Amino acid sequence: MSSRNTQNLVSKSYKQGKDTKKCYKKELHKLLYKKPMSRRMVATELGFTDQTYIVTQYIFDWIKEGKAYVIGVIKCSRSGRFVQAITTNPDLFPQSNQLKMF
C-alpha cells in the first residue's frame, strides 16, 4: 500500500468557483452596457460558443429586476435569426409615459 498522497490540495487555477461566476457576471453586464446584443452573441463574446445557459439566467433575472431591458429585435450574427436585443444601459431604456396619461 502506498502512503503517498497524490492529490494536490492547492488550487492550480485562480479562477475557481464563485469568483469565476462573479467575473463573468461583471463582464456580461459590461458587454450589454456597451451595445445591445442577443444572448448567443454575448455568450460568444465571453468565450462560451455553445453554452448560452451560462448567461440566460443572469439576463432573465436582470430583466425581472429592471436592470436590463429588451429594446427591440436585431439579426443575430451567430444564428442569422431575428432575436431580442438586450441592453443594461439605462440611457437606451424606453421611457414610460404611464404617469403622463392622467
Tell me, what's the pLDDT at 98?
Answer: 72
Would you state the cell numbers that stand for residue 86, as one nine-digit string? 438586450
Nearest to 42 by CA among 53, 54, 31: 31
Which one is predicted more confidently, 63 or 16?
A: 63
Sequence-separated (6 or more) residues with CB below 8 Å from residue 85: 36, 37, 38, 70, 71, 72, 73, 74
Tell me, what's the pLDDT at 71?
Answer: 92
Q: State pLDDT tens for residues 62-91.
A: 999 989 999 999 998 888 899 999 999 988
Kindly report the pTM of this predicted structure.
Answer: 0.69
Residue spans of the domains in the chain: they are: 18-92
Q: State pLDDT tens for residues 30-40.
A: 999 999 999 99
Task: Supply the DSSP string of 64-76, one letter for each residue.
Answer: HHTSSEEEEEEE-
CATH class of 18-92: mainly alpha
